[in-house]
Amino acid sequence: MAERMRRFGVGYALAPKKQASFIQVSLVNLAKERGIDLVKIDMDKPLIEQGPFDCVLHKLYGDDWKRQLEEYALKYPHVLIIDSLEAIERLHNRISMLQVATELEIKCETTSFGIPKQTVVYDAKIVSASYLESEGLKFPVIAKPLVADGSAKSHKMLLVFNKDGLSKLKPPIVLQEFVNHGAVIFKVYVVGDYVKCVKRKSLPDVMEENLGKLESYLSFSQVSNLNTCEKNDDKYYKLMNLDDAELPPLSFLKEIARGLRRATKLYLFNFDLIRDNRVGNKYLVIDINYFPGYAKMPNYESVMTDFFWDVLNKNDKGFENLQKDSCEKEVRLLVGNKGYGEDEGTLPVSPLKREEKENTIQV
């Protein structure tokens, strides 16, 4: 007689918009077939009275939720919480967020990586052109809210072209050097061991000779985002003129992803990379987001289901395996015949033909 499959319960606590985009029938059904029930956590009832779940998947803010999760973890120490509050917290501040990236040692002969120059400003009065200079920055600079808490406000940015634009800053902010990158950004999605890179449109390059001719600043928000119904597919690449942009080497991206996982102890995040136009193969990490819009990722249902299956069956509650495994080692499912990560897909590589002119802010 066939053995009965063990079932797992994954309770999810997500904001309504996230729930609508992520919890799709296709995901729920695929997970169910693999013995994983996705169950909505009722926010009108105490968490402690629900479940018990094998795993709690969450992206919510605020002290009440924090307290409830902590209480739950105490009562059910074996429940897997994805991700830990402490680990997520690090991404809520744009300085500590990128600090992790500076701690990584990426060994790659052909490609290098880092973060843009940046400084934090708490007091608008101290900011002047000479202050920027003393911090090693020059125009244009991007002003980003220090706090990245998922609010609309935390995505509101200013691209400042000259000293007049500095009067618009609303601290606390991070002032970051604007790096010309050919108007394409690479979003690298990480789901446990799985890594997938997609291209998105970004801000156009700014030519130094045009600085004086531009307005003093440009405000923008989520320029690289897609609507939840949009997909990162060939149609999008064509429409956005992105199909010629060459993707960074996958082995390089996997090393960064692995390093970030180890340093942050997060399972679910994406990071934004830009290629520095001034230096051949130098990439800069500009942003790291917890539990991003995975539903826009190709085959997200199977990627997420494989991930749940893997963590639930291992339930290692830690990153011991990550420490042990070599970067290229394939992590295999404990049962089933499909190797985890096998459908990472081949990343198309084509020469970068984009002309600088196309992506330049013109006056």
Ligand X SMILES: O=P(O)(O)O[C@H]1[C@H](OP(=O)(O)O)[C@@H](OP(=O)(O)O)[C@@H](O)[C@@H](O)[C@@H]1OP(=O)(O)O
Ligand Y SMILES: Nc1ncnc2c1ncn2[C@@H]1O[C@H](COP(=O)(O)OP(=O)(O)OP(=O)(O)O)[C@@H](O)[C@H]1O
Does the annotation flag 186 for ligand binding? yes
117-136 binders of ligand Y (CB under 6 A): none
The 10 Å Cβ neighbour count of residue 103 is: 10
Task: List the strands of the sheet with 268-275, edge to edge.
Answer: 112-114, 282-290, 268-275, 184-191, 194-201
Beta bridge partners of 159: 142, 218
Among 21, 162, 224, 302, binds ligand Y (CB under 6 A): 224
Does the annotation flag 259 for ligand binding? no
- 29 or 222, CB closer to ligand Y? 222
Name the region of 323 (left: φ>0; alpha: ψ -120 to 50; beta: rest).
alpha
Among 54, 83, 272, 310, binds ligand Y (CB under 6 A): 272
185 binds ligand Y (CB under 6 A): yes
Minimum CB separation of residue 4 from ligand Y in Å reads 43
3-state secondary structure of 272: strand
Q: What is the dihedral of CA 143, 149, 153, 155, to 10 degrees?
A: 50
Does the annotation flag 176 for ligand binding? yes
Select the residue whose beta carbon is closest to Mg ion and give its number: 287
202 binds ligand Y (CB under 6 A): yes
Residue ranges in contact with ligand X by CB under 6 A:
17-18, 21, 59, 150, 187, 222, 225-226, 228, 270, 289, 292-293, 296
Does the annotation flag 54 for ligand binding? no
- 150 or 341, CB closer to ligand Y? 150
Among 112, 241, 289, 315, binds ligand Y (CB under 6 A): 289
Tokens, residue 159: 């691209």
Partner that binds at residue 196, options ligand X, ligand Y, Mg ion, none, CB closer than 5 to 8 Å by kind: none
Tokens, residue 315: 């339930």
155 binds ligand Y (CB under 6 A): yes
CB 48 within 8 A of CB 25: no
Among 30, 87, 137, 148, binds ligand Y (CB under 6 A): 148
Run of H or E residues at 261: helix 250-264
CB 159 within 8 A of CB 217: yes
Minimum CB separation of residue 225 from Mg ion in Å reads 8
CB 301 within 8 A of CB 113: no
Tokens, residue 32: 């169910």
Minimum CB separation of residue 142 from ligand X in Å reads 16
Residue ranges in contact with Mg ion by CB under 5 A:
272, 287, 289
CB 36 within 8 A of CB 309: yes
**Number of residues this chain uses to bind ligand Y (CB under 6 A):** 23
- 38 or 158, CB closer to Mg ion? 158
Tokens, residue 359: 């992506």
Partner that binds at residue 119, options Mg ion, ligand Y, ligand X, none, CB closer than 5 to 8 Å by kind: none
Among 179, 214, 260, 303, binds ligand Y (CB under 6 A): 179
Minimum CB separation of residue 228 from ligand X in Å reads 5
Minimum CB separation of residue 206 from ligand Y in Å reads 9
CA 201 – CA 140 distance, rounded (Å): 19
One-letter amino acid identity for 73?
A
E-strand ranges in the chain read 8-14, 36-40, 55-59, 80-82, 112-114, 118-121, 141-145, 156-160, 173-177, 184-191, 194-201, 217-221, 268-275, 282-290
Among 18, 59, 144, 196, binds ligand Y (CB under 6 A): 144
Output the known binding site for ATP: 94, 144, 176-187, 202
Output the known binding site: 18, 59, 94, 144, 155, 176-187, 202, 272, 287, 289, 293
User: Which residues here bind ligand Y, judged by CB under 6 A?
Assistant: 116, 142, 144, 148, 155, 157, 176-179, 181, 185, 202-203, 222-225, 272, 274, 286-287, 289
